[in-house]
Structure 1
Amino acid sequence: MRIVLVGPPGAGKGTQAALLAERLGIPHVSTGNLFRDNISQGTELGREVQQILREGGLVPDEVTIAMAADRLAQPDAGDGFLLDGFPRNIAQAQALDELLGEGGHKLTAVLDLEVPEDEVVKRIAGRRMCRKNSGHVFHVEYAPPAVPGVCDVCGGELYQRDDDQEDTVRHRLELYHQETEPIIGYYREQGLVVTIAALGPVPEITQRALAALPEADAA
């Protein structure tokens, strides 16, 4: 299966991508991992991305597309993949179609994780990180610490990242609506979009997605 996962920030794409890829036996390919892997391996594309990010710029579409093409050409992606974070706009979606078409393939489905905007803001703006260990994450409503502002695990101070401030979250949502959301319409015209309600327990959302996928075995 060849799947694209889309949804706004805070929709749980990373969590669902990992779970779905494992259940379906296909690699989870995320844009963030592509960048990190190429940078850590010192590839030509990785060096280019590192320089761009160091200067505070945005990675051009052609660089992101080239990285995705290299990754999807790997043997483990021959029978399918789950893309998370790519394509991010119409130009990248068209490039992906061309790339797959060259190999005689096409996408199986585009999973659209649907979450109300107010819930997205609540999920992200309520997140608190531990200053001692960034892996210790809490939420003021959904997973509060026993003592407000104190990490249950190591006693470190909990804080809100700048990226998680409500104004920043709403700006990220605006960018999503402008740049990424249009690909849903693009793929809907191809009959590929499956919209999944992404509210509720994580396992239930995973089951909804598996049940909605063509040819998927949800067992």
Structure 2
Amino acid sequence: MRLLIMGPQGVGKGTQAALLSEHYGIPAISTGDIFRYNIKNQTALGKEAQSYTDKGELVPDEVTNRIVKDRLAQDDAKNGWILDGYPRNAAQVQALDEMLAEIGTPLDYAVALEADHDVLMERMRKRAEQEGRADDTPEAIAERLAIYERETAPLIDIYKSREQLVTVNGVGDIAQINAKIVELLG
């Protein structure tokens, strides 16, 4: 099973990716985790990514694409994977399509989790309090949600047009949400 898990910040992508990973016996691959691993271990890709993050800049798509491609080529991903946080824009969709064609592993589904804006704001406010995350100010949260709506939400239409989209309400009991995803994936 090769899946994308999509949705705005705070919708529960990481939680559901972990549960799906366990259910299907495939790795949940978070782009944030890949970046942190490569930077911590000072890989060539990590050093390149860090040269941008040290300046407070976003890592360019070209570097992000190479990091994702490198991760998908690892042995534990041979029988499937769940990508969380990638692709984030149309250029990354095209790059992912090319990667998958090159390695001969088509995408099965994109799972889109949905939740009301106010629910997301409240979830992230609580997370900021619980985890002491200084970067989760109401303004920063609102900006990240706006970027998602502007750049990533339109990708859902791409996967819908390809008949690869599974949409699930991300609000409610975690186990019930997971069961609904598994049911829809067949």
TM-score (norm 2): 0.95
1:190 aligns with 2:126: no
Assess if the C-alpha contact under 8 Å between 1:162 and 1:168 holds in 2.
no
Structure 2: where are the runs of 5+ without partners?
none
Q: Secondary structure at the match of 1:164?
A: coil
1:12-161 matches, within 5 Å, as 12-129=12-129, 137=130, 161=133
Instruction: Tell me the distance in 1 between the aligned counterparts of 2:5 and 2:169.
Output: 13
* Residue in structure 2 matched with residue 179 of structure 1 by the alignment: 151
2:138 paired residue among 166, 172, 177: 166
Q: Secondary structure at the match of 2:4?
A: strand
- For residues 99-140 of structure 1, give each alpha carbon's deviation from its aligned partner in whole angstroms, at most 9, with x where no partner exists: 1112222111000001111110111123354xxxxxxx27xx
Q: 1:162 offset after TM fit, Å?
A: 3.9
Instruction: Tell me the distance in 1 between the aligned counterparts of 2:145 and 2:172.
Output: 21
- For residues 61-91 of structure 1, give each alpha carbon's deviation from its aligned partner in whole angstroms, at most 9, with x where no partner exists: 0100000101101111111000000111111
Structure 1: where are the runs of 5+ without partners?
130-136, 139-158, 215-219
* Residue in structure 2 matched with residue 205 of structure 1 by the alignment: 177
Q: 1:165 offset after TM fit, Å?
A: 2.4
Number of positions where the alignment pairs a residue of Structure 1 with one of Structure 2: 186
Q: Secondary structure at the match of 1:39?
A: helix
Change (3 A) 1:47 1:17: same
Higher percent of residues as helix: 2
Instruction: Tell me the distance in 2 between the aligned counterparts of 1:200 and 1:65.
Output: 33
Identity %: 45
Which protein has greater RCO, CA pairs closer than 8 Å, 6+ apart? 2
Amino acid at match of 1:28: A
Q: What is the RMSD of the two structures over their aligned residues, measured on CA atoms?
A: 1.4
Instruction: Tell me the distance in 2 between the aligned counterparts of 1:128 and 1:49.
Output: 26
